Amino acid sequence: MINIKHYTSPIGDILLASRNEKLIGAWFEGQKYYLANVSDEIIEKDDETLIQAKKWLDSYFNGEKPLIDELELAPVGTDFRKEVWKILCEIPYGKTISYKDIADKIAKKRGIEKMSSQAVGGAVGHNPISIIIPCHRVVGSKGELTGYAAGIDKKKFLLKHEKYYSVADLYKK
């Protein structure tokens, strides 16, 4: 069974979902892949996980910098997608990384010559826990704002909210 609750953010309503005391979803209403990979029975009910997720989002939108590990996350996806989402969780607040940088990290970790940036983009786009797993911090190789399942306007808002303004801030590890 999946518990859901709605959260009203400054840029739109977000549906929060939990299963077994772990957050499995945070989707903007109407975004691509809304409720993707959710096949269990859904009930509208607050639980401790959803209460904590709402507090985390309140903190974030109040300009604080809550840590991802404050929440128990259990995004549903393939091993490859989970590998990409784990890298997203490492991007510092107010910083960005490119799809190519993520692809290069995965290739290096796997000991292969090359990984597809497009495959990484697909995984980023299917991130089921928006904002908390910060897919909005992923940009094109020249720092351009490309794609966001909830809309580029929301991506711009989130990066501006985090005071990210320049390509010179690109995250490299």
Q: In this structure, are residues 135 and 75 in contact, taking their beta carbons and an 8 Å threshold?
A: no
Whole-number Å distance between alpha carbons of 97 and 40: 34
Strand partners, 25: 17
Tell me, what amino acid is at 154? K
Side-chain-facing half-sphere of 4: CA atoms under 13 Å? 18
Torsion on CA atoms 96, 75, 110, 95, rounded to nearest 10: 10
Give the whole-angstrom CA distance, residue 77 versus residue 92: 23
Contact (Cβ atoms closer than 8 angstroms) between residue 12 and residue 158 = no
Choosing from 26, 135, 138, 158, which is the catalytic residue?
135
Known catalytic residue at 135: yes
3-state SS class at 148? coil
DSSP structure class, residue 90: T
Positions annotated as catalytic residues are: 135
